[in-house]
């Protein structure tokens, strides 16, 4: 005989827990007024979706359906967020204004500030930067340009399957902001990069009081026609900053100008640092399985601080060529070791 009370209790518990599981909410930007024609400004709709997701006590998803959405400068501030589990799923393309002057002086196009627990999946960010590139090539007076996507003073960020094209300036910047702790525990994997600057840590050490960067992994990356491959760059001036615990692994270089570079004498325009040595301390940086072609004869360059030499630099299984011939390596104030096949011959 069936115990009616037990049956009713099980049914109640099933309904109760099923309701809990289904409490995650989705905010479709189209339902909030966004128009997928690539012409109508949908910035307000995206900000409305963000505000709703931020205010949700449950995990929330912001959904961007297929199509093209025009967005002006948009700041997604998480300072007052109740939610630390926001997913942004993009099945379409986000377009910056075709008139580069609209965001060209703004510093960034899409910025997330003070956010915790944001995941971005899929989609394309098209900053439509070709007009600004043409302006700069002509020698005219042009805006500096906007970074496509920036995270400032944020933590627990996850990005997967996102494409960034036609950036006015940088594609993605992770910035600690002023008076904030430095960048830690950063993982970058499965990236196709080029043309452009490549992947850089820095510039660091512009200010005397500056927290450091540590525990960074960059792996499985292909660089094609970039100015740099994997670079660490610091200002040639006094600073208490540092870089340590960095791994560059499984990288392919295709005609890259500076495949492996540490530059601690960065000082554009000799701005308040002529003759000064970088105070940033660089240590424990590993380069593993880096191969491909360099567009310049010197494929590996460690130009470290004369005051604070680099230490603990390791090279393992590195093979870089220049015009189908062995490339060269250059070291200044750098200490470390090499193992496995290393070409060009290590200068450490």
Query: Could you list the active site residues?
Result: 197
The answer to whether 112 touches 151, Cβ cutoff 8 Å, is: yes
Token output for 213: 């960067």
Q: What is the dihedral of CA 228, 230, 235, 241, to 10 degrees?
A: 170
User: Which residues, 6 or more positions from 122, have their beta carbon under 8 angstroms from its beta carbon?
Assistant: 89, 90, 91, 160, 161, 162
C-beta atoms surrounding 237 within 10 Å: 22
Give CA–CA dist 204/279, Å, rounded: 10
Q: Which of 310, 295, 157 shows the shortest CA–CA distance to 233?
A: 310
Give CA–CA dist 244/222, Å, rounded: 23
Q: In what order do the strands lie in the sheet with 60-64?
A: 25-28, 60-64, 86-90, 116-121, 155-160
Count of CA atoms in the C-beta half-sphere (13 A) of 186: 24
């Amino acid at each position: 005989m069936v115990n009616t009370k037990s049956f009713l209790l099980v049914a109640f518990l099933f309904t109760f827990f099923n309701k809990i599981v289904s409490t995650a909410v989705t905010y479709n930007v189209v339902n909030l007024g966004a128009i997928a024609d690539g012409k109508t400004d949908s910035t307000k709709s995206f900000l409305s979706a963000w505000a709703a997701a931020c205010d949700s006590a449950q995990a929330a998803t912001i959904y961007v359906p297929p199509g093209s959405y025009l967005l002006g400068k948009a700041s997604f501030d998480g300072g007052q967020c109740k939610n630390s589990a926001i997913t942004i799923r993009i099945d379409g393309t986000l377009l910056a204004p075709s008139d580069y002057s609209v965001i060209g002086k703004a510093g960034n196009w899409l910025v997330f500030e003070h956010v915790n627990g944001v995941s971005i999946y899929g989609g394309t960010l098209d900053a439509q930067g070709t007009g600004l590139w043409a302006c700069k090539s002509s020698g005219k007076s042009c805006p500096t340009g906007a970074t496509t996507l920036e995270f400032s003073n944020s933590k627990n960020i996850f990005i997967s399957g996102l494409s960034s094209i036609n950036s006015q300036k940088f594609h993605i910047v992770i910035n600690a902001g002023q008076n904030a702790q430095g960048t830690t525990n950063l993982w970058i994997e499965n990236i196709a990069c080029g043309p452009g600057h490549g992947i850089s840590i820095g510039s660091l050490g512009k200010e005397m009081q500056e927290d450091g960067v540590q525990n960074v992994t960059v792996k499985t990356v292909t660089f094609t026609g970039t100015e740099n491959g994997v670079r660490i760059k610091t200002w040639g001036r006094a600073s208490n900053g540092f870089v340590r615990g960095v791994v560059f692994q499984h990288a392919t270089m295709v005609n890259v100008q500076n495949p492996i570079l540490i530059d601690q004498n960065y000082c554009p325009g000799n701005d308040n640092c002529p003759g000064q040595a970088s105070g940033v301390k660089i240590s424990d940086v590993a380069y593993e399985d880096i191969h491909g072609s360099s567009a310049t004869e010197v494929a590996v360059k460690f130009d470290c601080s004369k005051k604070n030499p680099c230490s603990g630099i390791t090279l393992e299984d590195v093979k870089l060529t220049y015009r189908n011939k062995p490339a060269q390596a250059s070291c200044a104030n750098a200490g470390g070791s090499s193992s496995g096949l290393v070409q060009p011959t290590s200068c450490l």
